[in-house]
Structure 1
Amino acid sequence: MKKLFAFLASALMVLSLAACSNNGGGNNDTPTDNGGANTDKKVYNIGVSIYKFDDNFMTLYRKEIESYFKTLNTDEVEYQVTIQDGKGDMAEQTNQIDNFIAQDYDALIINLVQATSAATVIDKCEAANKPCIFINREPSEEDMKKFPGMITYVGADARQSGKYQGELIADLPNKGDLNGDGILQYVMVVGDPENVDAKYRTEFSISQYEAVSGLKVEKLDEQRGDWDQAKGQEIVANALTQYGDKIEAVFCNNDAMALGAAQAITAAGRKVGEDIYLVGVDALAEAVDLVSNGGMTGTVLNDHINQSHQAVDCAVMAVNGEKLDAYYWIDYIKVTPDNVAQYK
């Protein structure tokens, strides 16, 4: 029996020593397998600030940014993306940008609350040597000359979207001139007068209409709608009350406001395509449905998928040390009853 106990004690000692050898006592220089995980994976932190989360178009845009970054993650590289809500407040957004820089984020993607604040943001990024990709709201040409190779703007040329809106009306058989007086009487619902996209869409929709139709125009009303559906509805409802059947067309700087305008038009007993015309920009799903069923004359596709992917590609280029061009442009597309099925 004593021999048996001795044998068992020796066996336990051998097993204990083997276990210590395998565990390395916490000092094993050989890398741990960890299920095949790569302990040398490169991680990049990307800070994204959106001017406000409850904007219909930018909701699609930011979700696509997040989704596309995930497709780029591999065993060798990971992109950790932080997306924050600017809440329509430039001071709030500036604080977010300051925090991204203070926390040493590798690149920033910024949808400015106010495009006029671009110079300040660029100066901050240049001081910290951080690449910055502006999206959706275009800084001035002068601002875009600063910090070359490290900043860029990804977007669509808003002048093109305005021209396409004008053509949507001018290309109608009656050129939108319902009363046949040779003049298009219209209402303009503006997003934000300080925003360059709003300025260009407002200006070029009308100038292109005049150039293509050969007719004159009469602006009955122009109001600021802040890109908001409820405000679009209110503005157009008030205009319909004041001007009634005199209104032949409503131009909205975006689809959210056009959706509100469509509600006001229906409530007033008017019918798009018969006694009034309505155009927007963005090709939101709800707007595309309205174009399909006659509730809107047309819209202009603001391609959030290709824009967001290009913005992400620029961020990846920047963190890899590549120089950025000043601009990366994505074309708009007219959406009419003839081609609407492609965008549903």
Structure 2
Amino acid sequence: MKRKILAAVFLTVTATSAFTGTDLILAAEKTEETAVQKPDMEGIDTENTKIGISIYQFEDTFMTLYRTELVRYLTEELGFKEENILIEDGKNDQDRQTEQVEGFIEDQADVMILNLVHASAAPQITELCSEEGIPVVYINRQPDSLEMERWEQEGIQAAYIGADARQSGIFQGEEIAVTENQGDINGDGEVSYIMIQGEPENIDTQYRTAYSVKALEEAGVETRELLAQTGDWSQSQGQKIMEEALDEFGNDIEVVFCNNDAMALGALEAIREADRTVGEDIYLTGVDALEEAVQSVVDGEFTGTVFNDYFSQSYGAAELAVKFLKGEETEPVTLIDYIKVTQENAEEILELVNS
């Protein structure tokens, strides 16, 4: 399958490279006959090894794609038994998720893969696991730098794999900067925008918010913030915020930045209902490259999105877990590149996310 081919390519990419989506697709085509470099499973008791997985919220569309691919890779590719994959829904409740971690410990999990409700809980969770000698791989939501430095300094079996959210924000700003008028639809010399944000404490929210605007300004564009409001990653909240913003600011809104595609898809519904047209009198960007969002880029209803490569991230998380099980050293942080999605490569990216 093409996703397997891509994993071999994507896992070689760091968060500082400048590959485009087309670059990666061409690289994948050149390696069509190349097998994925799976981890060496020698010495791993795949029949009995237990892996505890907790996802912050199953309702999150992106994390549904991520966990589905993670479980598929663990079972179909690496040979772990499905009945030993202990997977829980944190339901966006950190106390509940902490109890799930305690449950994994009671069930004698050999390793954990955790998508925290709150990244600030990492020190507590790490201590719980470390006291029991259970390695932990954190995914998607990055603990703070001091915590990750502590793992290395104290020899704690913990690691994080994800993507650098600053890069996704930069890509969003660049998608606006390359439009014909650089987002300044009314020609008044500045871009008036609204920002629909994820959860306030989430580092992805903070970086995507700051760096999308920074990238636009570094392209020589003056900006004016009309509104920045939390939509909690939710499509329904994105639509509600956009409806209210259109009522308040009307045609003054030239650009809509959304910290993820779910909120951007909600915003798109409100834009349609207001008889505004993306690409003509308003611009809209998101992050994640959900299938519906990429199709909207193809159809001209999104200015762009950014592919948050859950294939490489999920495979990398599984492979870090295997390294811990084998007693091998791991890097405390692994970063995977985002890919800018525009009309130039959207159809190719759509093929990838549908593979």
Alignment TM class, shorter chain as reference: 0.7 to 0.9
The residue that corresponds to 2:267 in the other structure is: 261
Tell me the distance in 1 between the aligned counterparts of 2:171 and 2:46: 46
Q: Does 1:222 align with 2:224?
A: no
Aligned to 1:329: 335
Task: Say whether residues 1:246 and 2:252 are aligned partners.
Answer: yes
Give the secondary structure class of the aligned counterpart of 2:242.
helix
> 1:49: which partner in 2?
54
Report how far residue 322 of structure 1 moved.
1.0
1-side partners of 2:309 and 2:69: how far apart? 11
The one of 291, 294, 298 equivalent to 1:292 is 298
- 2:127 corresponds to: 123
* 2-structure distance, mates of 1:144, 1:101: 22
Of 312, 321, 340, 2:346 maps to 340
2: distance between equivalents of 1:125 and 1:259?
A: 38
1:138 equivalent in alignment to 2:142: yes
Q: Map of 1:1-344 to 2, 5 A cutoff?
A: 42-74=47-79, 78=81, 80-148=84-152, 150-212=157-219, 214-344=220-350
- Where 2:50 maps in the other structure, the secondary structure is strand
Instruction: State the Cα distance separating 1:70 from its structure 2 match.
Output: 1.2
Distance 1:180 1:253 in 2: 26
Counterparts of 2:86 and 2:107, CA distance in 1 = 12
Give the distance between the partners of 1:41 and 1:198, measured in 2 at CA: 37
The whole-number CA distance in structure 1 between the counterparts of 2:343 and 2:260 is 18
- Post-superposition Cα deviations, 1:185-236, rounded to whole Å, max 9, x if no partner, equal 0000000110001000000000111002x01110001110000000000001
What is the Cα deviation at residue 41 of structure 1? 6.5
* Alpha-carbon distance between aligned partners in 2 of 1:78 and 1:261, rounded to the nearest angstrom: 41
Give secondary structure in 2 for the equivalent of 1:147.
Answer: helix
Question: What is the deviation of 1:146?
Answer: 2.6
State the identity as a percent: 47
SS at match of 1:219: strand
1:126 and 1:147 in contact (8 A); partners too:
no
- Secondary structure at 2:185 match in 1: coil
One-letter amino acid of the counterpart of residue 155, structure 1: G
User: Which residues of structure 2 form unaligned runs of 5+?
Assistant: 1-44, 351-355
Return the alpha-carbon distance in structure 1 between the equivalents of residues 51 and 88 of structure 2. 11
1:125-172 deviations in Å (ceiling 9; x for gaps): 111111100000000001112333511110000000000000000111
Distance apart, 1:71 and its partner CA? 2.3
Displacement, 1:263? 0.2
On the 8 A contact 1:122/1:146 being kept in 2, the answer is no
What is the DSSP-based 3-state SS (H/G/I as helix, E as strand, rest coil) of the residue aligned with 2:145? coil
Indicate the SS of the match to 2:184. Answer: coil
Distance of 2:245 and 2:46 partners within structure 1? 59
Q: CA RMSD in A?
A: 1.3
Kindly indicate whether the alpha-carbon contact (under 8 Å) linking 2:258 and 2:264 is maintained by their aligned counterparts in 1. yes
Higher RCO by CA contacts (8 Å cutoff, separation 6 or greater): 2
Unaligned ranges ≥5, structure 1 = 1-39
Match of 1:6 in 2: none
1:85-106 Cα deviation digits (max 9, x unpaired): 0000000000000111122100
